[in-house]
Amino acid sequence: MADLSVRIGEVALKNPVIAASGTFGFGAEYAPIFDPGILGGICSKGITREPREGNPPPRLWETPCGLLNSIGLENPGIEAFVREVLPRMLGLGTVVIVNIWGREPEEYVYMAERLDMTEAHVIELNLSCPNVPGAGLPGAVPEKVAAIVAAARAACGKPLWAKLPPEGDLIGAARAAAEAGASAVTVANTFRGMAIDIRSRRPVFSNVIGGLSGPAIKPLVLRAVYEVAKEVRVPVIGCGGIVGWEDAVEFIMAGAHAVQIGTGSFIDPLCIPKVIAGLGAFLEREGIGSLEEVRGCAH
């Protein structure tokens, strides 16, 4: 069996395949289909300081090879998450990455301090959720990224990953995150999109916009990962439209240390185990000792 293990700063992953935030619940939902312990890591649903009910339906809208979502960060809040959900996630046998979202830097600080008292392995700062009414996209603005990452860095000792939007000053934002102490950047969250119901003549989502994910965005995100990997010194985690192992190889050749898979699991519930197996088979077939040998080779 090929060695798929990778290191993202301080954390070692058994393989570079991570379940993307918001698409894999808290890890146990897919357990009837495959053992989540085979994953390199699992990102939790986005957690906020207070519980959130999320947006009214519809929350999903299918597009050609894509998916618009407007979930609105439904979650139990950090306290219930830490007490009731996190212990179960930590029992799944893989690296647990807690995705957190705040309206202000202080909210990130509050949650980072709370998570610092737990066994969670990594905190992913979600700087890029398009679905909360009235909230902007701090991840598109380097100064805001710097402020949030620096505040969270001072508040906890856990590895921090900064999850950025694919829009705005991406290179500037990624640099700002690295300089403020992020040990990796996740590129990227969804693109802001929308759909209009031509019969009612209104946007389909109550929040008007939604986040576009899935194969439709893969070439756009691959380009973004390629550019960030060239310009920024911290590891890049590629995320957007990965369905097959070949997609994952492309991201790694573009310079990603690891990949996250979201919508792919909706297209094929066995997507994640197939990508992991496909990566292993690829290394063996090509006689490659480790992923490092091909990482960034497209540059």
Partner 1 sequence: MYPQLKRGEVVANREIAPGIFLLGVRGKFAASPGQFYMLRAWELDPPLFRPMSVFALEEEAISFLYEVRGRGTGILSRLSPGEELLLLGPLGRGWDPPARPLALVAGGTGIAPIHFAAQIYGGDAFLGFRGKPYLVESFADWCRAVYVASETGEGGTKGLVTEIFRPEGYRTCFACGPEGMLRELYRLCSEAGVPLFVSVEERMACGLGACLGCAILTSRGPRRVCADGPVFPAEELWGDG
Ligand X SMILES: Cc1cc2nc3c(=O)[nH]c(=O)nc-3n(C[C@H](O)[C@H](O)[C@H](O)COP(=O)(O)O)c2cc1C
Decide: is 55 part of the binding site for ligand X (CB under 6 A): no
Closer to partner 1 by CB, 56 or 219: give it. Answer: 56
In the list partner 1, ligand X, none, the entry touching 48 (Cβ below 5 to 8 angstroms by class) is none
Decide: is 160 part of the binding site for ligand X (CB under 6 A): no
Closer to partner 1 by CB, 115 or 243: give it. Answer: 243
297 catalytic per annotation: no
* Of 43, 129, 156, 239, catalytic: 129
Residue type, 286: E
In the list ligand X, partner 1, none, the entry touching 242 (Cβ below 5 to 8 angstroms by class) is ligand X
Decide: is 215 part of the binding site for partner 1 (CB under 8 A): yes
In the list 57, 134, 287, 289, the residue contacting partner 1 (rule: CB under 8 A) is 57
Site for ligand X in 56-115 (CB under 6 A): 67, 69, 71, 73, 99
Select the span of 112-120, 213-221, 225-233, 275-283 touching ligand X (CB under 6 A): 213-221
Secondary structure (DSSP) of 65-100: TEEEE-----B--HHHIIIIIHHHHHTTSSEEEEEE
Cis peptide before 58 (omega within 30 of 0): yes
Decide: is 264 part of the binding site for ligand X (CB under 6 A): yes
Distances (CA, A) of 189 to 73, 112, 174, 185: 13, 20, 13, 11
Q: How many residues does the chain have?
A: 299
Secondary structure (DSSP) of 163-230: EEPSSSSHHHHHHHHHHTT-SEEEE--PEEE--EETTTTEESSTTS-EEEESGGGHHHHHHHHHHHHH
The dihedral through the CA atoms of 199, 129, 259, 296 has a sign that is: positive
Question: What amino acid positions are annotated as catalytic residues?
Answer: 129
Q: Provide the binding-site residues for ligand X, judged by CB under 6 A.
A: 20-23, 45-46, 67, 69, 71, 73, 99, 126, 129, 163, 189-190, 213-214, 217, 239-242, 261-264
